[in-house]
């Protein structure tokens, strides 16, 4: 089941980093910057987004948890490429800047085709379905 919203990709950087002044980050802005990202996103989403600039980008380190990469960004050691709102930048010396052109990842709730649910799990799934349907009805053009 597809979620009504998608995750938005961007850069987490120190507020003192030169890129923090920009409203959004382009692939050309990242050339020469030490970059941090999950290995999966580096080889998939970031590669597709950066297109012909991808070979010029330098992955300094990969992390399974974005929080670990945010420590390096906070210390101004590089740029973390991750989802918006995954790292709380409020009240910190870090900022989030969206990628441009915009990069989004769709979200899905998945389960086995012939899954048997407990009554509470069935109720949860029904509530999620209703919430998604209501969201779609409220946001129809």
Q: Within this chain, do residues 118 and 100 fall inside the same structural domain, yes or no?
A: no
27 with 92, same domain? yes
User: How many of the other CB atoms lie within 10 Å of CB of 111?
Assistant: 10
**Residue 71's CATH number:** 3.40.190.10
pLDDT over 60 at 62, yes or no: yes
How high is the pLDDT of residue 141?
A: 55
Assess whether 102 and 39 both reside in one domain: yes
8 Å CB contact between 57 and 27: yes
85-126: pLDDT as tens digits? 899 999 999 999 999 999 999 989 898 989 899 999 999 999
Do 59 and 100 fall within a single domain? Answer: yes
Domain count, the chain: 2
pLDDT at site 64: 87
Same domain, 69 and 129: no
Task: Verify that 96 and 119 share a domain, yes or no.
Answer: no
Nearest one of 102, 81, 92, 65 to 30, comparing CA atoms: 81
Q: Which domain holds residue 123?
A: 111-138
- Please indicate, yes or no, whether residues 15 and 35 belong to a single structural domain of this protein: yes
């Amino acid at each position: 089941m597809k979620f009504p919203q998608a995750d938005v990709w961007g850069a987490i950087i120190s507020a003192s980093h030169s890129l923090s002044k920009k409203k959004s980050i382009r692939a050309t802005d990242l050339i020469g910057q030490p970059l941090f990202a999950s290995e999966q996103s580096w080889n998939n989403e970031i590669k597709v987004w950066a297109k012909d600039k991808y070979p010029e980008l330098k992955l300094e380190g990969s992390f399974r948890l974005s929080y670990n990469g945010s420590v390096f960004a906070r210390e101004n050691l590089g740029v973390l490429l991750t989802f918006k709102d995954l790292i709380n930048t409020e009240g910190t010396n870090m900022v989030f800047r969206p990628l441009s052109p915009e990069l989004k990842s769709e979200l899905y709730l998945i389960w086995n085709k012939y899954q048997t649910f407990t009554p509470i799990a069935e109720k949860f799934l029904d509530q999620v379905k209703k919430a998604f349907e209501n969201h779609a009805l409220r946001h129809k053009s």
